Chains A and B, each alone.
Chain A
Amino acid sequence: EAQVTQNPRYLITVTGKKLTVTCSQNMNHEYMSWYRQDPGLGLRQIYYSMNVEVTDKGDVPEGYKVSRKEKRNFPLILESPSPNQTSLYFCASSWGGTETQYFGPGTRLLVL
């Protein structure tokens, strides 16, 4: 089944404790991206990747890192999480940045 998976689905952590949210897709898509969703603000893009070893900032990259060492995986790293990073995070993949996006199920993060 074609899908985008994210782990963990729920995470509670404390300020400053590094964490990684994994994202994997099995559709051989070149493009992958991360979004965060906050009430009243819609989806805002954090980072995106056009292909392996090619990443770029989205609208709200501060406090996040990404890497794309393999085509299928695109982890999101929060090196020192802060409470304002409490949010619902989505990974997405597609054949191109402006084409149909396939979203993961989301990761709900709470930073205390």
Chain B
Amino acid sequence: SQQGEEDPQALSIQEGENATMNCSYKTSINNLQWYRQNSGRGLVHLILIRSNEREKHSGRLRVTLDTSKKSSSLLITASRAADTASYFCATDGTGANNLFFGTGTRLTVIP
């Protein structure tokens, strides 16, 4: 399966701490994306990193990609209670027309 797999499944931290989530995948990719989902709502795109990129930043988000290890990490710095959500990685595959989503990491930020 090309589906990404997030780790950990759940993460609980105090407000102000950093949160790190990981995604591993199985096949070669062209890009990897991270999405956020607030409880029961639609997913919101956070960041896209292409296979020839190693790191990307967007505000308090930092994404890294290691294609040799087939893994990516999402770092949220100085977390806030509003960051409480589920985070999903999504990968394409060489020749694929679609994205494949993982099962997500549930992040809880305690005020």
Chain A interface extent, by class: 20 to 34
User: Interface readout for A79-108 with B: 1 if CB under 8 Å, 0 if not?
Assistant: 000000000101010000111111111101
Question: A residues within 8 A CB of B110?
Answer: none
Is the CB–CB distance between B102 and A98 below 8 Å?
no
Known contacts A42-B88, A42-B104, A43-B88: does B99 contact A98 (CB below 8 Å)? yes
Question: B residues within 8 A CB of A88?
Answer: 40
Residue of B nearest to A91 (CB): B42
Give the dominant DSSP class at B's interface: loop
- Chain B residues 1-53 with CB under 8 Å of chain A are 3, 30-31, 33, 35, 40-45, 48
Is the CB–CB distance between B101 and A43 below 8 Å?
yes
Question: B residues within 8 A CB of A50?
Answer: 97
Is the CB–CB distance between A98 and B96 below 8 Å?
yes
A61 contacts partner chain B, Cβ-Cβ < 8 Å: no
Total interface residues in chain B, CB < 8 Å: 23
Question: A residues within 8 A CB of B77?
Answer: none
B103 contacts partner chain A, Cβ-Cβ < 8 Å: yes
- Least Cβ distance of A44 to chain B in Å? 8
Give the dominant DSSP class at A's interface: strand
Is the CB–CB distance between A100 and B42 below 8 Å?
no
A45 contacts partner chain B, Cβ-Cβ < 8 Å: yes
Is the CB–CB distance between B31 and A42 below 8 Å?
no
- Least Cβ distance of A109 to chain B in Å? 13
Q: What CA separation (Å) do A108 and B40 show in the bound complex? A: 9
Question: B residues within 8 A CB of A43?
Answer: 43, 88, 101
Is the CB–CB distance between A42 and B45 below 8 Å?
no
A2 contacts partner chain B, Cβ-Cβ < 8 Å: no
Q: List 5 A-B contacts (CB under 8 A).
A: A33-B98, A42-B103, A43-B101, A90-B42, A106-B41
